[in-house]
């Protein structure tokens, strides 16, 4: 895996390609990618400045001690009492007067206003044009980490479905998922989605206190961060014997996943992956019930590029990692989504999960 200094140098190379004079990265996943470290994002400005000639790290005193062993670049600090403006003026003196400044996606509005005041003549553009190409293609070491992260999500699915019983609340099942992810090695668990019964028809359901009953499905969309990289998986269980209608819908979604996976390979336009999954669902008569894209990239962010949509003409490349997660959502009844995280290899799609996509009957 590239060292943090090498990643910053790669960012500099992309800056030249894009005509960017200064890259400014606030706390968040871009900073985690570049430094292997990110403090909490709050009202205190904290930026990695990557210039053509110099790299600086601006950090409040609050985080300076934690940053010191992790940041191999000159550091500018400031106190809460003094505020950041003096340190920012020092940064301007050292970085000069850039014409084109790229800012990271997690930049706060108040932070952007500070930077625009610092460099009033500069043009400010999204930092994704620098960062996205670097992050989209994973190295062998990154893929190995994603695979280990996927194993933690597999463990969480097993734990949730193994414990699920009639009368359990979604919040109880979500807690079991969180505990299983941490026990398996995850260091952060940002989103357990557990939808039972009719709640499974909401793609990004906010886990509630609803209790699952016999004769209902359970949707578990789980993931966490391991050594900086995210996992993400969705599987379905059913309490008691699945109904014929549920079996029908589950089979269609399972076929849609399989069709998408068979399409994946180097050089294939991304749109073909979405169309393969969507075509299965449309032919079954449920096209209007598949209300989102087929997938999203994954890496240090749970959602990143590439976006697996029917409008994306970009060709797949070896090392891309993304989800394949078609769904059918029958509001007021139930929903079914099945999600695989895959990596593009010379042989096609390599799924990172070891779990079957079959209905888990509990």
pTM: 0.94
Q: Is 340 helix (H, G, I), strand (E, B) or coil?
A: strand
CA distances from 240 to 169, 177, 361 (A): 17, 21, 6
Residue 1: predicted pLDDT: 62
Rg (CA), the chain: 23
Per-residue pLDDT averaged across 36-48, rounded?
Answer: 95
Query: Is the backbone of residue 19 left (phi > 0), alpha (psi -120 to 50) or beta?
Result: left
Render pLDDT for 257-269 as a digit per residue (tens, 0 to 9). 999 999 999 999 9
* Full set of structural domains in the chain with CATH: 4-134 (3.40.350.10), 137-361 (3.90.230.10)
* Percentage of residues in the chain having pLDDT higher than 70: 99
Instruction: Identify the pLDDT of residue 229.
Output: 98
Q: What is the mean pLDDT of residues 263-290?
A: 99
């Amino acid at each position: 895996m590239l060292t943090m200094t090498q990643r910053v140098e790669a960012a500099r190379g992309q800056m030249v390609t894009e005509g960017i004079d200064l890259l400014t990265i606030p706390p968040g996943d871009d900073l985690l990618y570049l430094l292997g470290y990110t403090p909490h994002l709050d009202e205190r400005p904290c930026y990695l400045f990557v210039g053509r000639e110099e790299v600086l790290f601006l950090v409040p005193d609050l985080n300076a001690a934690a940053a010191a062993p992790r940041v191999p670049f000159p550091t500018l600090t400031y106190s809460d009492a003094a505020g950041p403006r003096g340190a920012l003026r020092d940064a301007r003196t050292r970085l000069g007067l850039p014409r084109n400044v790229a800012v990271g996606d997690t930049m706060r509005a108040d932070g952007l206003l500070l930077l625009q005041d610092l460099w009033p003549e500069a043009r400010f553009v999204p930092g994704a044009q620098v960062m996205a190409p670097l992050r989209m293609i994973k190295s062998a070491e990154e893929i190995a980490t994603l695979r280990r992260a996927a194993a933690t999500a597999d463990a969480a699915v097993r734990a949730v479905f193994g414990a699920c019983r009639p009368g359990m609340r979604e919040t109880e099942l979500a807690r079991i998922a969180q505990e299983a992810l941490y026990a398996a090695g995850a260091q952060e668990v940002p989103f357990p989605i557990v939808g039972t019964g009719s709640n499974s028809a909401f793609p990004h359901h906010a886990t509630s206190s609803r209790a699952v009953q016999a004769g209902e499905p359970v949707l578990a969309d789980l993931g966490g961060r391991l050594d900086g990289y995210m996992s993400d998986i969705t599987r379905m269980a059913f309490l008691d014997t699945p109904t014929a209608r549920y079996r029908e819908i589950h089979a269609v979604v399972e076929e849609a996943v399989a069709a998408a996976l068979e399409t994946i390979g180097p050089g294939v336009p991304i749109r073909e992956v979405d169309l393969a999954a969507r075509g299965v669902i449309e032919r079954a008569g449920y096209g209007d019930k598949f209300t989102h894209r087929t997938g999203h990239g994954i890496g240090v962010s749970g959602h990143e590029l590439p976006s697996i949509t029917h409008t994306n003409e970009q060709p797949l490349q070896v090392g891309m990692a993304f989800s394949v997660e078609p769904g059918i959502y029958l509001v007021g009844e139930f929903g079914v989504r099945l999600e695989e995280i895959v990596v593009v290899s010379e042989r096609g799609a390599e799924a990172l999960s070891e779990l079957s996509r079959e209905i888990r009957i509990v």
